[in-house]
Structure 1
Amino acid sequence: MRKHWKALTAVGVVILAVAVAVILINRPAPAKEPDPSSLQASGKFGFPVSDIKIGEGGTKKASDGKTITGYNGTCDSAAQAAANYTHLIEDVNLTTWAQQKKTLTEVSKPGPWFEKVAFNGDLLANAKELPTGAFDGQWYSRADVVAGGLYRVASCEEEKQAVVQVFTGGVVASVNEAPSSFFQTVTFELAWDGDWKVSDAAIVPAGQDFGGRVKDAGPMSVGTNMGEAATPVLRDDLVNAFFKDKSREGWVEYANAKR
């Protein structure tokens, strides 16, 4: 009888093992996390394309009625905030400078960086004699962010801090000459205070790295003669020239970049 029970027990163990094996074989494999890069199309110049857009991302407007605020604290919203704040760093128009400076104050935190980025506007606003070359009604510099249309998130912790670089186009006045176009990178440090606030910003000179916070200063058109009074649509030769000796790693196109 004891042998009989041992035999039945052995058979039961075998049946159980077979059943477990069948379950394991037929159980679907765990789903793999999608690779974010596989969800992004490759843009015209080989950069991945994001689904976030310049001119979107917030729910409110600053006192100038056009600068978007009211972001949600994500890293994507930091990239949008940086793009939407770029005109506050780049633009200089004497008829709107006072309001622009007020708006920059609203979306930023005090620091030595503020006087540096406001220097050109303040200099012109307080000048006794204005230099010639203003275009389209007192414009001395005007950003065209969608013409550049690229960003790089150097670092980000949601609802805390982010460092974002924005590659923008633009037009600048030239004394006794027609205005000329340019491309350059604006680097932002953003701090979360119920909204993304600029805590530092600069046009980082070539060879510098924003105090170690970015890989490099980012692409710019210095030394590239475009010979155009309006910001051109980017071409392969321009992109190659701007990114010479600069890393392309991490750069992403905004969904509505001008191409």
Structure 2
Amino acid sequence: MLIAIAAVVVIVAVAVVLINLRPAEQAAQPEPSAETGMVAGTLGFPVSKINIGEGGTKTAADGRTPIGYNGSCDSAAQAAANYTPLLVDVNLETWETQKETLNSLAVPGPWLEQTLLPFSVIADAKAQGNQLKSFAGGWMEQSNVKAGGLYRTVSCEPKKTAVVQVFFGALGVSDSLPQGYFGTRTMELTWKEDWKISNAVTGVNDSDLVSRLKDKGPTGGLGVPPTGKIPPLDEQILARYFEDLSKEGWVEYANATR
């Protein structure tokens, strides 16, 4: 049982299978210039003026997720960053609240069932009295979007739909200290008086969404012993994660941790 649960957690954390973007559907990405107002950051990516944690006018039921956006493409990029923890985090003590919030921000569909299933398996195992490894108050996976601090807008029509990829940092449970890693979450947002998640890459039956992406986005472990911390993103780590992947279109959030 515990081995199966551990496998599920790994799938939740890093299993993303994507294919190339259809050329006709690729949205043009801004380059650093006087016109866009963006300049290159320390890692060479253009730095946006938008911040993680902002863009909303109110807060969801969990008391932390910003909601209530204005429908612009910038707000879609903010919403994607702010919604990422709902698709990544696993906390044995607060899962029910996270599930309620995710449901309130989701357009129902097979993607949602596939997203919720691994979390539900873990919650059920806990309810049955299984001893599950966790850290710092029930965490099995804990994201930090600022630690990755990158996004790529694949496509966007204001107040209609957007597809955004978010590169985040996280800690995952291990046999000793929590293990740091970086990953990408891809989601489709649909405007329904606010940005709602209408699809997300789950690793299962994702052919429709993944066919609209340029590539899978960087994801995976650090390949070093766990330290209990997410290391600062630097050129060496970046080279590891973007090996054989394009950096085209990726933009830093203004408040990314560097």
Please say whether Structure 1 and Structure 2 have the same fold, judged by a TM-score greater than 0.5: yes
Shift of 1:190: 0.3
Query: Are residues 1:162 and 2:141 paired?
Result: no
Aligned pairs for 1:117-196 (under 5 A) are: 117-127=115-125, 128-174=128-174, 176-196=175-195
Cα distance per residue 1:106-161 (max 9 Å; x no partner): 11100111122222321111112434420001111100100000000000000000
Give the root-mean-square deviation of aligned CA atoms.
Answer: 2.0
Aligned residue type for 2:173: A
Cα distance per residue 1:151-186 (max 9 Å; x no partner): 000000000000000000000112x33220110000
Taking structure 2 as the reference length, the TM-score comes to 0.81
> Which secondary structure state, in structure 2, belongs to the residue aligned with residue 140 of structure 1?
strand
Tell whether the 8 Å contact from 2:32 to 2:46 is kept in structure 1 after alignment: no
Which residue of the partner structure matches residue 37 of structure 1? 33
Tell whether the 8 Å contact from 2:180 to 2:221 is kept in structure 1 after alignment: no
- C-alpha change, 1:223 and 1:231, in structure 2 (3 Å) is closer
Tell whether the 8 Å contact from 2:67 to 2:79 is kept in structure 1 after alignment: yes
- C-alpha change, 1:55 and 1:89, in structure 2 (3 Å) is same
Could you tell me how far apart the structure 1 residues matched to 2:104 and 2:62 are? 10
Taking structure 1 as the reference length, the TM-score comes to 0.81
Tell whether the 8 Å contact from 1:133 to 1:178 is kept in structure 2 after alignment: no
Aligned residues: 223
Query: Are residues 1:214 and 2:210 paired?
Result: no
Aligned pairs for 1:1-259 (under 5 A) are: 37-38=33-34, 39-127=37-125, 128-174=128-174, 176-203=175-202, 210-222=209-221, 224-225=223-224, 227-259=226-258
Whose RCO is larger (CA < 8 A, sep 6+)?
A: 2
Shift of 1:101: 0.4
State the identity %.
49
Tell whether the 8 Å contact from 2:40 to 2:46 is kept in structure 1 after alignment: yes
Tell whether the 8 Å contact from 1:53 to 1:255 is kept in structure 2 after alignment: yes
- C-alpha change, 1:173 and 1:55, in structure 2 (3 Å) is same
Tell whether the 8 Å contact from 2:177 to 2:227 is kept in structure 1 after alignment: no
Could you tell me how far apart the structure 2 residues matched to 1:235 and 1:227 are? 18
Shift of 1:36: 6.4
Tell whether the 8 Å contact from 1:133 to 1:179 is kept in structure 2 after alignment: no
Tell whether the 8 Å contact from 2:201 to 2:210 is kept in structure 1 after alignment: no
Structure 1 gap segments, 5+ residues each: 1-34
Shift of 1:201: 1.0
Could you tell me how far apart the structure 2 residues matched to 1:209 and 1:185 are? 18
Tell whether the 8 Å contact from 2:153 to 2:163 is kept in structure 1 after alignment: yes
Range that drifts further, 217-226 or 165-174: 217-226
Structure 2 gap segments, 5+ residues each: 1-30
